């Protein structure tokens, strides 16, 4: 996931190969640093009111000295200015109020940060990476002959996509049966999507894409946060991704089979950027609510959520270790996101989420050392239990996905749980030695924005990759870039792509495209997944983390794999 998901709590943070955290990779629960206001200082809040109690709530807000700026009747909350923490606590005493959350940046995407001394051998550089591109050049469009060759042999970098082979997304597999329809809209709620990348552009729907965040160059202490404002009002266009996480996710879902780079699970679908994550990889509550509501209103069929909403890795509405204001903040996150998810699902959106990169049994959590991840430095050890929720992975109506490595072993970083794991998918794992693959080749390769790679110093001034985590594919003197990443953020887009194939096949005309109820998509996803049982020993002990993870449940539904490993070929050939 991305920083919202363990800084990636929402979005799964990918593991950068060679022990370096990929720039912009998001980790659940972490958000940008913002100082808390002084007791008498006015702050902005999202105040969630009980069903049918809007008038009472607005009265309580005004009586407490708050100023109502706006009301969102769809999700049942008011945007309010009020005099500091004491104001929030007073509101919590009203029976009409169910949550009061600071309107700050509170979320991130999830890519897995490197932990421990993981040795990553170098990968040989293929001939396609030899020629250097001109500064800022984009690859030429694929020729008809390139596209025709790709249909039978795959794209130039397909040989590196063990993940697609694992789920049957190959020229001899699902690509020959159903690649997904342009009428199916897959929303990527993430850090943005590079809509100009040659392996994204053919399937990118710029008209429907939106950006719900504004860049913040610096935090309240003057430290660099999102970097300089490149566009008017610090708001990036809807085809920009300065982080790279969202582009990687979108590429895995639907990069076209076009003779360039890689191909996605569903290379024929439409990709819609619904940006809720910042350049620095944080996901805050308000943009997440806006993104989910928009998905419902815009007729999006599937959304991928590789993030969690900061600042709490686990949201506990009644934890005695937290202050009353903190309890209200967490209750607001749980309530607000659930309402937004219900709204989107009620409007036909299938909800797919990364499970998280905390290496935790979510059914039996005991401690949370990462919260609150915002403001920076606020983290403390908390004793928690299963009443505390990882949002949105543990929210109702969401299909949550764990990650596996190339041998199908549950990835060491992946969260798990018999209640929480719905499906499994390839997410990459540099420590999985169960195949002949080495180092970075054990991760997931997908498209990456040139500008983000240059900013992260993953390519040099001439355009040459500086390490094995980046691959360059060149045609006619122009090149595009691809990056190896690991995380549950990388796993969930595989499930989103398979869901898109199912909607393409079984959806009926509606909402301007094809429509299939989320409940039916879920049934078909589970029915077409490959059942994978728990390890024969019942557990796995990971040398990289020195942790023992216990797998519980039968082959039909267990804590590591849920209902099974997603299978694109079975989805493309299944009977209704």
Active site includes 245?
A: yes
As a whole number of angstroms, the distance between CA 36 and CA 39 comes to: 9
Among the options 102, 190, 290, 368, which is catalytic? 190
Query: Taking the CA of residue 377 as centre, how many other CA atoms within 13 Å lie in the half-sphere pointing to its CB?
Result: 5
Q: What is the pLDDT of residue 225?
A: 78
Tell me what the mean pLDDT of segment 78-93 comes to. 91
**Mean pLDDT rounded to a whole number for the chain:** 86
Lowest mean pLDDT among 61-65, 253-257, 287-291, 374-378: 374-378
Q: Set out the domains of the chain in order of their start, with CATH numbers.
A: 17-34+110-116+137-573 (3.40.50.200), 43-103 (3.30.70.80)
Instruction: Identify the band that residue 117 occupies on the pLDDT scale cut at 50, 70 and 90.
Output: very low
**∠ CA(21), CA(22), CA(27), 5° rounding?**
70
Give, rounded to a whole angstrom, the gap between the first and last alpha carbons of the chain.
32
CA-to-CA separations, 463 to 129, 156, 158, 243, 440, in angstroms, rounded:
10, 19, 22, 18, 20
Q: What is the pLDDT of residue 114?
A: 35
Among the options 72, 239, 245, 549, which is catalytic? 245
Q: What is the pLDDT of residue 35?
A: 32
Q: Per-residue pLDDT tens for 203-217? A: 999 999 999 999 888
Active site includes 489?
A: yes
CA-to-CA separations, 75 to 170, 314, 344, 443, 550, in angstroms, rounded:
41, 22, 11, 38, 38
Q: Per-residue pLDDT tens for 7-40? A: 333 333 333 322 222 222 232 222 222 233 333 3
Q: Per-residue pLDDT tens for 303-339? A: 999 999 988 999 999 999 899 999 999 999 999 999 9
For residue 142, pLDDT over 70 is answered with no
Among the options 489, 492, 494, 563, which is catalytic? 489
Q: What is the pLDDT of residue 51?
A: 95
Tell me what the mean pLDDT of segment 172-200 comes to. 97
Lowest mean pLDDT among 25-29, 143-147, 278-282, 348-352: 25-29
Helix (H) or strand (E) holding 573: helix 568-573
Active site includes 190?
A: yes
Question: The tokens of 37 are what?
Answer: 């206001």
Instruction: Identify the band that residue 110 occupies on the pLDDT scale cut at 50, 70 and 90.
Output: very low
Contacts of 312 (CB under 8 A, 6+ apart): 29, 329, 330, 333, 368, 371, 372, 373
> Which comes out higher in pLDDT, residue 77 or 122?
77
Q: Per-residue pLDDT tens for 474-496? A: 988 889 999 999 999 999 999 99
DSSP letter string over 506-563? H-EEETTEEE--HHHHHHHHHHHSBP-PPPTTSEEEETTTTEEEE--S-TTSBTTTBT
> Which comes out higher in pLDDT, residue 553 or 110?
553
For residue 344, pLDDT over 80 is answered with yes
Bridge partner residues of 514 (DSSP): 509
Q: What is the pLDDT of residue 43?
A: 87
Tell me what the mean pLDDT of segment 250-269 comes to. 97
Q: What is the pLDDT of residue 143?
A: 60
Q: What is the pLDDT of residue 26?
A: 31
């Amino acid at each position: 996931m991305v920083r919202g998901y363990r800084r990636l709590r929402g979005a799964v943070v990918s593991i950068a190969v060679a022990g370096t955290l990929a720039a912009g990779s998001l980790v659940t629960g972490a958000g940008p640093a913002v100082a808390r206001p002084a007791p008498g200082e006015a702050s902005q809040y999202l105040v969630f009111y009980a069903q049918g109690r809007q008038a009472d709530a607005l009265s309580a807000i005004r009586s407490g000295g708050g100023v109502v700026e706006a009301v969102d009747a769809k999700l049942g909350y008011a945007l309010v200015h009020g005099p500091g923490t004491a104001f929030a606590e007073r509101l919590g005493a009203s029976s009409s109020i169910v949550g009061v959350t600071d309107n700050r940046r509170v979320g991130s995407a999830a890519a897995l940060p490197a932990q421990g001394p993981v040795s990553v051998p170098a990968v040989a550089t293929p001939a396609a990476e030899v020629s250097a591109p001109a500064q800022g050049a984009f690859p030429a469009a694929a020729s008809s002959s390139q596209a025709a060759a790709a249909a039978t042999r795959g794209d130039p970098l397909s040989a590196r996509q063990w993940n697609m082979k694992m789920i049957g997304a190959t020229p001899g597999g699902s690509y020959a049966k159903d690649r997904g329809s342009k009428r199916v809209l897959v929303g990527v709620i993430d850090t943005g999507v590079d809509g100009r990348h040659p392996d994204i552009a053919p399937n990118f729907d710029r008209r429907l894409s939106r950006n719900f965040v504004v860049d913040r160059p610096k935090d309240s202490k003057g430290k660099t946060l999102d970097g300089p404002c490149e566009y008017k009002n610090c708001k990036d266009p809807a085809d920009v991704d300065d982080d790279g996480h969202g582009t990687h996710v979108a590429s895995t879902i639907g990069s076209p089979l076009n003779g360039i780079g890689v191909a996605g699970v569903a290379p024929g679908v439409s990709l819609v950027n619904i940006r809720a994550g910042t350049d620095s990889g944080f996901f805050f509550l308000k943009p997440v609510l806006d993104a989910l509501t928009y998905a419902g209103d815009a007729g999006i069929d599937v959304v991928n959520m590789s993030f969690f909403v900061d600042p709490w890795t686990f949201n506990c509405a009644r934890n005695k270790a937290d202050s009353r204001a903190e309890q209200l903040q967490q209750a607001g996150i749980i309530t607000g996101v659930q309402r937004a998810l219900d709204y989107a699902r009620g409007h036909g959106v299938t909800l797919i989420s990364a499970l998280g990169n905390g290496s935790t049994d979510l059914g039996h959590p005991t401690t949370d050392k990462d919260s609150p991840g915002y403001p920076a430095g606020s983290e403390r050890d908390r004793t928690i239990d299963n009443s505390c929720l990882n949002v949105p992975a543990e929210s109702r109506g969401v299909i949550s996905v764990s990650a596996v490595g190339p041998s199908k072993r549950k990835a060491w970083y992946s969260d798990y749980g018999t209640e929480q794991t719905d499906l499994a998918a390839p997410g990459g794992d540099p420590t999985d030695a169960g195949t002949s693959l080495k180092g970075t080749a054990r991760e997931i390769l997908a498209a990456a924005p040139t500008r983000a790679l240059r900013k992260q110093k993953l390519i040099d001034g001439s355009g040459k990759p500086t390490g094995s985590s980046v691959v360059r594919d060149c045609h006619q003197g122009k090149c595009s870039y691809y990056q190896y990443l690991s995380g549950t953020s990388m796993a969930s887009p595989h499930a989103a792509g398979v869901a898109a194939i199912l909607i393409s096949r079984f959806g009926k005309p509606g909402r301007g495209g094809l429509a299939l109820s989320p409940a039916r998509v879920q049934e078909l996803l589970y029915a077409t997944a490959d059942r994978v049982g728990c390890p024969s020993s019942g557990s796995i002990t990971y040398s990289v983390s020195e942790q023992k993870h216990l797998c519980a449940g039968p082959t039909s539904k267990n804590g590591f794999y849920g209902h099974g490993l997603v299978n694109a070929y079975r989805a493309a050939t299944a009977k209704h």
